[in-house]
Copies of this chain bind each other. A is one copy, B any other.
Amino acid sequence: MLGNFSYHNPTKLYFGDESLGFLKDELDKYGKNVLLVYGGGSIQKNGIYDEVISILRDCGKNVAEVPGVMPNPTVEKLYEGLRIAREHQTDFILAVGGGSVCDYAKAVSVSIHCDDDPWQKYYVRFEEPTCEIVPVGCVLTMAGTGSEMNAGSVITNHDAKLKIGHVFGDNVMPKFSILNPKYTMTLPKYQMIAGIYDIMNHICEQYFSGEDDNTSDYISEGLMRSLIHASRIAVQDPQNYEARSNIMWTATWALNTLVSRGKSTDWMVHMLGQAVGAYTDATHGMTLAAVSLPYYRYIMPYGLQKFARFAAEVWGISAADKTTEELAEAGLSAMEAWMQELGLVMKTSELGVTEDMIEGIADATLILDGGYRVLNRDEIVQILKASM
């Protein structure tokens, strides 16, 4: 059932290899003090930094920078950004990077004018902002997280061994995002395939839940089929602009709330993966890949019809001469084979997880109740062991 819900995604998206041309018109709508946040330095190497700085200059902006936003942005990095932003009197935040940088920008945006400790307020107590929110825009350089068109923000606290996501309200969504597929094409293959799996799993987290057969499920199936098709081309030919475009566009629509309308949503693969990430600092998409099949094989009996439908509709597997269980299993095997085709990490041991970490990772795994089965701690430990 679709049930009762609202949908509001005011982010303006500019897509394509000419999209940066719209940055000036957008920036002109916002304040003079722009906080430029970005990652490790790849944007200096590929020229995007220079182009953006030049546009900021043309707009007459007073720019302060927060470089070095790491792939799993930390609470310390958040505090550093807030010190810079408060001194600078930032009135607009421009994120240039991947999902981590966009997430980070949103965390800064709700915290600049916040009197409380933002980690405690937003990521421990899950309260909503009551202070002024500084607007955010994104120039996206990596496809995967959907952060460019959603209100999510994930921050890692290494001391507490916690990696926590908060989904804010639509006033925290970026005002605009610039999506140039060419920017995603300068990244290493490891990041490309990790992003691809993040997209697939976002859709699965919403699809494999609740009572089925609503429009969201059908849209999800379309997005998954598009992704499988485009990813197979991209893995052979990462410079194929059309394939990379479709991956980038699918990433946005996989996690902007559209396909969760009417779905209870699962998110346990992300809970398990984020906990692994808190312990290993591994790439997000790889942590998901490493835990997915043990998780899905475990819950499959509790959502059997949907896994059978997944096999038929997403992987094109014929139901002929198969029991429902066999069809469902064939679907998960097809996904596994595709994951291996992509070259994903399929074992948490390869990400640095050791047996002695498992109890701690299980403690760090939030238990959610939207999926086909609510796990208990023993089952989480079992799945983590099977993921090694």
Of A18, A220, A226, most buried by chain B (CB within 10 Å of CB) is A226
Please tell me if the beta carbons of B219 and A215 are within 8 angstroms of each other in the complex. no
Please tell me if the beta carbons of B249 and A261 are within 8 angstroms of each other in the complex. yes
Identify the stretch in A2-10, A44-52, A95-103, A333-341 within 8 Å (CB) of chain B at 4 or more residues. Answer: A2-10
A165 at the A/B interface (Cβ < 8 Å)? no
Closest CB pairs A-B (n = 6)? A4-B16, A222-B222, A218-B226, A218-B222, A8-B12, A7-B13
Question: Taking the nearest CB of chain B, how far is it from the CB of A343, in angstroms?
Answer: 23
How many chain A residues sit at the interface, stated as a range, is 35 or more
A80 at the A/B interface (Cβ < 8 Å)? no
Please tell me how many copies of the chain the complex holds: 2
* Cβ–Cβ < 8 Å partners of A305 in chain B: none
* Cβ–Cβ < 8 Å partners of A3 in chain B: 16, 245
* Cβ–Cβ < 8 Å partners of A4 in chain B: 15-19
Name the CB-closest residue of B to A149: B7
State in angstroms the CA–CA spacing of A8 and B246 once bound together. Answer: 18
A225 at the A/B interface (Cβ < 8 Å)? yes
Question: Taking the nearest CB of chain B, how far is it from the CB of A231, in angstroms?
Answer: 12
A250 at the A/B interface (Cβ < 8 Å)? yes
A1 at the A/B interface (Cβ < 8 Å)? yes
State in angstroms the CA–CA spacing of A22 and B7 once bound together. Answer: 13
A79 at the A/B interface (Cβ < 8 Å)? no
Of A14, A217, A218, most buried by chain B (CB within 10 Å of CB) is A218
19 A-B contact pairs sorted by A residue (CB < 8 Å) = A1-B242, A4-B15, A4-B17, A7-B15, A8-B11, A8-B12, A10-B10, A214-B226, A214-B245, A215-B223, A215-B230, A215-B250, A215-B253, A218-B223, A218-B229, A221-B225, A222-B223, A245-B262, A249-B262
A213 at the A/B interface (Cβ < 8 Å)? yes
State in angstroms the CA–CA spacing of A220 and B219 once bound together. Answer: 8
Name the CB-closest residue of B to A14: B6
| Interface hits, A185-222 → B, CB 8 Å | 213-215, 217-222
State in angstroms the CA–CA spacing of A219 and B252 once bound together. Answer: 13
Please tell me if the beta carbons of A253 and B6 are within 8 angstroms of each other in the complex. no
State in angstroms the CA–CA spacing of A214 and B233 once bound together. Answer: 13
Please tell me if the beta carbons of A22 and B6 are within 8 angstroms of each other in the complex. yes
Name the CB-closest residue of B to A318: B318
* Cβ–Cβ < 8 Å partners of A253 in chain B: 215, 219, 258
State in angstroms the CA–CA spacing of A4 and B17 once bound together. Answer: 7
State in angstroms the CA–CA spacing of A258 and B256 once bound together. Answer: 13
* Cβ–Cβ < 8 Å partners of A6 in chain B: 12-15, 22
* Cβ–Cβ < 8 Å partners of A13 in chain B: 6-8
Name the CB-closest residue of B to A8: B12
State in angstroms the CA–CA spacing of A220 and B253 once bound together. Answer: 13
Question: Taking the nearest CB of chain B, how far is it from the CB of A141, in angstroms?
Answer: 17
State in angstroms the CA–CA spacing of A253 and B220 once bound together. Answer: 13
* Cβ–Cβ < 8 Å partners of A10 in chain B: 8, 10
* Cβ–Cβ < 8 Å partners of A249 in chain B: 2, 214-215, 261-262
Known: A1-B242, A12-B6. A219 touches B223 (CB 8 A): yes
State in angstroms the CA–CA spacing of A2 and B241 once bound together. Answer: 10
Question: Taking the nearest CB of chain B, how far is it from the CB of A326, in angstroms?
Answer: 20
State in angstroms the CA–CA spacing of A7 and B12 once bound together. Answer: 6
State in angstroms the CA–CA spacing of A6 and B221 once bound together. Answer: 24
| Interface hits, A50-82 → B, CB 8 Å | none
Please tell me if the beta carbons of A2 and B229 are within 8 angstroms of each other in the complex. no
Name the CB-closest residue of B to A233: B213
* Cβ–Cβ < 8 Å partners of A250 in chain B: 215
Name the CB-closest residue of B to A251: B215
